[in-house]
Amino acid sequence: MSHHHSHHNHTHDHSDHHHSHIDHIGKDRRSLLIAMITTASIMVVQLIGSYIANSIALRADAGHMLTDVGALLVAYLALRLYEASKNDKKKLQRFTFGFKRVEIIAALVNGVVLLSVCVLVIKEAVERLLGHSEHVHGDTMLAVAGFGFIANGISAIVLYKSHHLSTRSAYLHVMSDLLSSLAVIIGGIIMHFTHIEWIDPVLSLLIIVFIVRNGYKLVRSAARILMDVAPKGADRTVIENAILSVEGVKSVHDIHVWQIDTDNNAVSAHIVSDGQRSHEEILGDVRFKIENDYSLSHSTFQIESDSFAQSHQCNGCENTAQ
């Protein structure tokens, strides 16, 4: 098997870049911790306030914040594990891809918990709409939602200038909390002046629709990665055709394409050459095409001669027959 690597001649101060990267990770980690504690505090206040105000909308908003606490925790753990993996070479001997899948497992658990909370809120909202109406304290609802809006605003400001991808994602979660709290505030104002009780369960169902959509996408995305599903736009047929388009390739087999995590994809394949070009040239062209055209950051290719591939297939046929 042959390997091809390309290198560019360039010089720059690696130590400055390394320290700058570490500083950014440290700052993002602190920002995430502040935002996580703030969001968790708001969630507890809103959950307690939802029972005092008898508001399902506040309960739904608290459920929304539960998912965001989970998202912030996932992002925080991802940065912590990234730092740990860089410093602990012994663990990397066993966890050869690092701890990338921890983030995916946490996201899956977060999504399942979120959808379970949604079922309970939907049940209560539907019961109220069907006639089991209860008095909602609009002023309390408004005050609690207002507190949540201000605290979420603080978290958004803390996360705004983040550098890491997972931290930017957490910032978007907090912004969605802001919109959710704003919706509850508007509902509270309307109830204060109109005393229309059904606004609360309707508002809770609107928030739940948004949460279910995000929760489903979260569970689906995490499950696909854990099941080693090929990334979108780079399934087996697509990769096979791309490799076959390279000059010197006769056939390709044992193709595997999968996602390591949300940012890294991998591919492996056995390539049969037609003997017209060197293995190094073929591997170089294949790797360049696959990694650049399909964003597959980890590629492993084994190149074989036509005679070796045919004998391998024949041996396989004999073993099957036995």
**DSSP state, residue 233:** T
Do 219 and 92 share a structural domain?
Answer: yes
Full strand arrangement of the beta sheet holding 265-273: 249-259, 265-273, 298-304
Reported confidence tier of residue 18, pLDDT bands at 50, 70, 90 = very low
Q: How many domains does the chain have?
A: 2
Q: Tens of pLDDT along 24-72?
A: 566 777 777 888 888 888 889 989 988 888 888 888 888 878 877 877 7
Burial class (CB in 10 A: 0-12, 13-18, 19+), 45: middle
Do 119 and 72 share a structural domain?
Answer: yes
Mean pLDDT, to the nearest integer, of 276-289? 88
- The pLDDT value recorded for residue 12 is 38
Q: 107: which 2 tokens?
A: 């996201």
H or E element, residue 283: helix 279-293
User: pTM for the full model?
Assistant: 0.64
Do 32 and 152 share a structural domain?
Answer: yes
| 227: number of Cβ within 10 Å | 9
Single out the residue in 173, 194, 226 at which a domain terminates. Answer: 226
Do 247 and 179 share a structural domain?
Answer: no
Single out the residue in 226, 252, 277 at which a domain terminates. Answer: 226
Strand partners, 302: 270
Backbone angles phi, psi at 250, to 5 degrees: -90, -45
Q: Tens of pLDDT along 102-140?
A: 777 777 877 787 788 788 888 878 888 887 666 777 788
Within a domain: residue 3? Answer: no
Do 180 and 284 share a structural domain?
Answer: no
Within a domain: residue 2? Answer: no
Distance CA 121, CA 154 (A): 27
Q: Does residue 92 contact residue 171 with C-beta atoms inside 8 Å? A: no
- Boundaries of domain holding 63: 15-226
Burial class (CB in 10 A: 0-12, 13-18, 19+), 123: exposed
Within a domain: residue 265? Answer: yes
Q: Residue for token digits 């909602």?
A: 136
Residue from 295, 209, 312, 301 nearest 255 by CA:
301
Dihedral over Cα of 69, 72, 76, 77: its sign: positive
Single out the residue in 192, 226, 260 at which a domain terminates. Answer: 226
Do 246 and 184 share a structural domain?
Answer: no
pLDDT exceeds 60 at position 8: no
Within a domain: residue 6? Answer: no
Do 31 and 177 share a structural domain?
Answer: yes
Q: Does residue 46 contact residue 151 with C-beta atoms inside 8 Å? A: no
Q: Supply the CATH number for residue 122's domain.
A: 1.20.1510
* Pairing state between β 249-259 and 265-273: antiparallel
Do 247 and 301 share a structural domain?
Answer: yes
